[in-house]
Amino acid sequence: MNYRPKSSQLQLNLNHLEFPVANGLTTEKVREFLEIVAKEKLSSQEIRTRAKNGKLEVGYPYGILQIVPSQEKKFGKFWRWDIVLSPVSMSD
């Protein structure tokens, strides 16, 4: 039996899964990561304000990046953040 998809592009649906990408990053490192990976330019203040409440989600081609307070919370006066990937789909 030969299986041929209708299109030449295969997709893998990964809804409702989460994968840790980085742990304990400073706000500045999160800002740089989002700019490089998701092409999203956010200020450090905006990251702190939105992520402290657990509401910072940034879309990028393969899913959603969630920025959440790290288990470490703060290092001195600096907040630490974890980045979690929730893939929506992966295309070949």
pLDDT tens per residue, range 23-74: 999 999 999 999 999 999 999 999 999 998 878 999 988 889 999 999 876 7
Quick: pLDDT tens for 9-23. Answer: 445 555 568 889 999
Q: Strands of 56-60's sheet, edge to edge?
A: 19-26, 78-87, 63-75, 56-60
* pLDDT classification of 78: cutoffs 50, 70, 90: confident
Q: Is 90 a residue whose pLDDT tops 60?
A: no
